[in-house]
Structure 1
Amino acid sequence: MAAQGLSVFPIIPSNQYRTKSFEKVLVSFSLSNSLVGTKLSIEPASFGLVASKRRSFTVATVSFSLPTTKKTQEVAADKKPRWSARAIKSFAMGELEARKLKFPTTGTEALLMGILVEGTSLASKFLRENGITLFKVREEIVNLLGRSDLYFFSPEHPPLTEQAQSALDWAIEEKLKSGESGEITSSHLLLGIWSQKGSAGQKILAGFGFDDEKAKELAKTVSLWTRI
């Protein structure tokens, strides 16, 4: 789907105007969000429209990153693990859930909802298997934090709370400590939320029976999958 107001597909002339060969059309666009730290870029690619009706392809390069503190930014680029696509989507869905509840910030509770909204990661499946669902979590968040003013409008990208940022940093640091290859996953993000004792997300998890033993069980599962 093209971004609003931006067409990324070349206009193909009707048959009566076609010749045996057509000029190549170069398409390039970039969508970026400096606040979230997420960047999507599609490099210039050529669409060759020839009489043989060959299919045309677009070469896309996608690079993602989530907000980091100065401490994690100092990690060498070649050593810093990347976030998985599911973890990035979980983060984006967490922001969206914070906006739906009209919260001024994205906290650990919003990140927890984001994992459940994404729904396909190992972390989200683990939560559901333990009876922790999106509807239960959302209801508990309202009970714990209350409702925002009806007329309050959240920013497009509610800034992370200190504890939510610490959860992201924890995930990165633990991945580095493990020495294992692969990406930082939603499971690392969930364990990062659990590490923030006293945060809304951690309290909600604890209220539904998630404890240190469950955290260890999830961590073992993550480690097992990285070795397969």
Structure 2
Amino acid sequence: MATQSLSLRPISISFSRSDTPKTGRSNPTRLGLPSSFLGDVAFLRSTNPIPCIHMPLVTTRSRTVFSSLPTAKTDKASAEKIHKWSARAIKAFGMAELEARKLKYSSTGTEALLMGILVEGTSLAAKFLRANGITLFKVREETVKRIGKSDLYYFSPEHPPLTESAQRALDWAIDEKMKSGEDGEVTVTHLLLGIWVEKDSPGYEIMASLGFDDEKAQELAKSMDKDASLTYR
């Protein structure tokens, strides 16, 4: 098969000294180049590009809310009197608020705290629940059966406030940690047992209906302080 050879001749462009501005760069307007090319050249030669702005992944509001969990007792507001919550517990609380919003509830109850623990999923408490057949799907199903669904056109607040029973569950967890006299953090296990203490709450009723009892609570209490802190990325 015959091939054709293509010969390219070099193109020489000559211009006078007036074509070269004081910057030492050739002036493209004297070379007969199209105006679109001039725009490209101007862009490429820009010495002051627009800076790239990176938005933070976590807002200031989120950092403020999830740096600690709320307590209803003013005497526990001082950092000197209260143990810090573990990273797992803080994330479980955040997931509880999210679950409440998904179901379009106006508040975050013990049932939402229970779902938040299971959504977070890595704590000893969450693993204990799953090992005993208490899963997120079952808890969510029981929640809808007991509390029902919200109006289709209702929108939950960004941070649904805690119900009284949910607030007491958090306060119980703090009290229990303080009573132990040991250093460390308030863990998800403290939070789960705090839900179990609230006998008339939806969270307690759901746990009981799915097979959780006092014997399992005592077994879980043995690992109350073993949930090590975890940094999430």
On whether the aligned pair clears a TM of 0.5, the verdict is yes
Post-superposition Cα deviations, 1:141-183, rounded to whole Å, max 9, x if no partner, equal 0111111111111111111000000000000000000112110
Cα offset, 1:77, TM superposition: 2.3
- Cα distance change, pair 190–69 in 1 and its aligned pair in 2 (3 A): same
- Cα distance change, pair 103–69 in 1 and its aligned pair in 2 (3 A): same
Partner of 2:73: 70
- Cα distance change, pair 167–209 in 1 and its aligned pair in 2 (3 A): same
Letter in 1 for 2:76: Q
Cα offset, 1:64, TM superposition: 1.4
Partner of 1:11: none
Partner of 1:107: 109
Q: Is 2:205 aligned against 1:200?
A: no
Can you give the 5+ residue segments of structure 2 that lack an aligned partner in the other structure? Answer: 1-46, 48-55, 229-233
- Cα distance change, pair 176–152 in 1 and its aligned pair in 2 (3 A): same
Cα offset, 1:209, TM superposition: 1.0
Identity of aligned pairs, percent? Answer: 65
Partner of 1:39: 64
**Cα contact 2:187–2:227 (8 A) shared by 1:** no
**Cα contact 2:123–2:227 (8 A) shared by 1:** no
When the two structures are superposed, what TM-score results if normalisation uses the length of structure 2?
A: 0.70
Cα offset, 1:72, TM superposition: 4.7
**Cα contact 2:124–2:227 (8 A) shared by 1:** no
Letter in 2 for 1:64: S
- Cα distance change, pair 224–168 in 1 and its aligned pair in 2 (3 A): closer
Cα offset, 1:224, TM superposition: 6.1
The structure, 1 or 2, with the larger RCO (C-alpha pairs under 8 Å, 6+ apart) is 2
Letter in 2 for 1:132: I
- Cα distance change, pair 164–148 in 1 and its aligned pair in 2 (3 A): same
Q: Distance in 2 between matches of 1:97 and 1:197?
A: 22
Letter in 2 for 1:187: T
**Cα contact 2:174–2:186 (8 A) shared by 1:** yes
SS at match of 2:60: strand
Q: Distance in 2 between matches of 1:85 and 1:198?
A: 28
Partner of 1:144: 146
Quick check: which has more Rg, 1 or 2? 2
**Cα contact 2:105–2:156 (8 A) shared by 1:** yes
Given candidates 59, 82, 85, the residue that maps to 2:84 is 82
**Cα contact 1:102–1:153 (8 A) shared by 2:** yes
**Cα contact 1:112–1:190 (8 A) shared by 2:** yes
**Cα contact 1:72–1:169 (8 A) shared by 2:** no
Q: Distance in 1 between matches of 2:91 and 2:227?
A: 20
Q: Distance in 2 between matches of 1:115 and 1:225?
A: 13
- Cα distance change, pair 223–85 in 1 and its aligned pair in 2 (3 A): closer
- Cα distance change, pair 225–114 in 1 and its aligned pair in 2 (3 A): closer
Q: Distance in 2 between matches of 1:31 and 1:159?
A: 19
Q: Distance in 1 between matches of 2:201 and 2:224?
A: 23
- Cα distance change, pair 120–72 in 1 and its aligned pair in 2 (3 A): farther
The alignment of Structure 1 onto Structure 2 pairs a total of residues equal to 178
Post-superposition Cα deviations, 1:71-125, rounded to whole Å, max 9, x if no partner, equal 4525x52231100000000000000000000000000000000000001011100
